[in-house]
Structure 1
Amino acid sequence: MKCRKETMLLYAVTDRAWTGKQSLMEQTKAALKGGVTCVQLREKELDEEEFLKEAIEMKKLCGSYGIPFFINDSVEIAVKCGADGIHVGQEDMDAGNVRAIVGDEMMIGVSAQTVEQAVAAQEAGADYLGVGAVFNTATKLDACEVSYETLKEICETVSIPVVAIGGISKKNMQELSGSGADGAALVSAIFSAEDIEQECRELRRLAEQTFSI
C-alpha cells in the first residue's frame, strides 16, 4: 500500500493525556466521525501486551471507517496488529530496515527536520514524511522547530507526501498555506477538545482550505 496525499490531510495522533470523561477509543471514534483522514496510535507508557490489545481494537475501529491506521515507533506491534502503517523518528530504526521487517504493503512514515533527512528517508523507502515541529508544541518538548521556508523546501525536494506536525491548531493552520504540505498532524488540537467530533469537522474544513488536495 502506497500513501496517498489525501491520507495526510487531517492526521490524528493519539495522546491519552486527555482521557478522563472518555476513553481513548471513544475519543478516537469521535475524531473519525468528525473527519480525520488517518490515525496514529502513540503510546509511550503501556506495556507490550496492553499496547497490542489496544492496537488491535483501534485497527478494527479505523477499518470500520475505511481510515488508515498507523503505529508510532513499535515495528513489532505494527506487524502483530496488522497496521496499515508505521511511523518512525530519526532516532528509531532506518526506513530501509523497517521495510525489510514489515514487507512491501505497509506504509512507512519518517520524521524529518531538514532537507537532508527528508531526502535520505525517501531514498531509504519512506512512503511519507512527518515534518516539524512547525510551531511551538508542548506535546513533544524536545522537538526542534522547523521554519516555513524549510518545510517548503522539503516539499519541493521530495516526491512523497508530507504532513506538517507540531503545535498546529485552528488558529495557525492556515499559516501553512502555500508550503506544499499535504496536510496537518494534530495531537492536542484534537484530543484536548471538549467536543472532539465537532472540533474535527472544523479542522477538516480548515485543512481542505489550507492544503492542496
Structure 2
Amino acid sequence: MNGLYLVTDSGIAHQAGHTLPFVVEEACRAGVRWVQLREKDLTTRAFLELGVALKHITQHYGAKLIINDRVDIALAVDADGVHVGQDDMPHQLVRSLIGPGKIIGLSINNMDELKAAQGADLDYLGIATIFQTGTKQDTSSLLGLDGLTAICQQTSLPTFAIGGINATNSQSVVKAGASGVAVVSAICGQTSPYAASRELIKLFNGV
C-alpha cells in the first residue's frame, strides 16, 4: 500500500468542477488507498450520506476510509477508522467507542504534543503543518522539513505529513522522514484527480 493519503474538501472539489464521490473514485482508481472524509460544514445527514457513498467506493477498491472527528459517522457507515485533532474527542475515548479493530490517527503539531501521545493506542500520526497552505488557516507554527524530521525521528508510528504538499515537494517530505504524504488540493482541486493521483504515486514510489 503506497503512502498517498487523500483528505477531502468538497469546496475545493466543487471549484474544480467535481463532486466529491467523483474525486474519491478517480483517486482510488489511480491507486490511492487512504481516504479521509473531512467536512466541517455539512449537516449530520449530509455527512452521513456522503460517508455511505464514499464507503462503497473505498470498499470496492480496497482503500481505507477514515472519518475526521465524527465518531458517530464512522460507526454509522462502518468506516475503517477515525482521525482526531488536538481539540477533538480524546483519542482514548475514541478507542473505547470504535473498538480495537479500527484505525485511529492523531494530528501532531509540535514536539510537546508528540511527547503527550507517546505510548498511546494509536495507529498513525498526521504531522502538520509542513508548508503554507490555503486549506489550513492557522499556520503560525509551520514545521517545515526540519520540524518534520525532528518529529519523525522521535516516533515509531507511521507518519503522514500534511500541509501544502504537492507534486513539487512531495519527495522532499518523504526524504525528511515521513511514511507518507496527505494532500487536499493536490488531488481535489485538479482538472484530473486521476492523473494527479497517478503522478503523486509515481513520485512517492520513486523516492
What is the TM-score normalised by the length of structure 1? 0.91
- Which of the numbers 171, 181, 203 marks the counterpart of 2:200? 203
Q: Does 1:41 align with 2:4?
A: no
- Which of the numbers 32, 51, 55 marks the counterpart of 1:55? 51
Question: Which residue is equivalent to 1:176?
Answer: 173
Question: Which residue is equivalent to 1:66?
Answer: 62
Question: Which residue is equivalent to 2:10?
Answer: 16
Q: Note the C-alpha offset of 1:122.
A: 4.2
SS of match in other structure, 2:56: helix
- Which of the numbers 54, 57, 76 marks the counterpart of 2:72? 76
Q: Does 1:165 align with 2:162?
A: yes
Question: Which residue is equivalent to 1:3?
Answer: none
Q: Note the C-alpha offset of 1:112.
A: 0.3
2:30–2:194: 8 Å Cα contact kept in structure 1? Answer: yes
The CA distance in 1 between the partners of 2:62 and 2:33, in whole Å, is 9
2:33–2:62: 8 Å Cα contact kept in structure 1? Answer: no
Q: Note the C-alpha offset of 1:185.
A: 0.2
Q: Note the C-alpha offset of 1:10.
A: 0.4
2:124–2:159: 8 Å Cα contact kept in structure 1? Answer: yes
Q: Note the C-alpha offset of 1:197.
A: 0.4
Structure 2 gaps of 5+ residues are: none
1:94–1:124: 8 Å Cα contact kept in structure 2? Answer: no
Q: Note the C-alpha offset of 1:94.
A: 1.6
Count of residue pairs the alignment pairs up? 204
Q: Note the C-alpha offset of 1:115.
A: 2.4
Alpha carbons of structure 1 residues 82 and 177: separation in structure 2 relative to 1, 3 Å? closer
SS of match in other structure, 1:139: coil
Matched letter for residue 119 of structure 1: K
**Runs of at least 4 residues off by over 4 Å:** none
SS of match in other structure, 1:26: helix
**200-209 or 150-159: which moved more?**
150-159
Percentage identity across aligned positions?
39
Matched letter for residue 14 of structure 1: T
What is the TM-score normalised by the length of structure 2? 0.93
Structure 1 gaps of 5+ residues are: 1-5
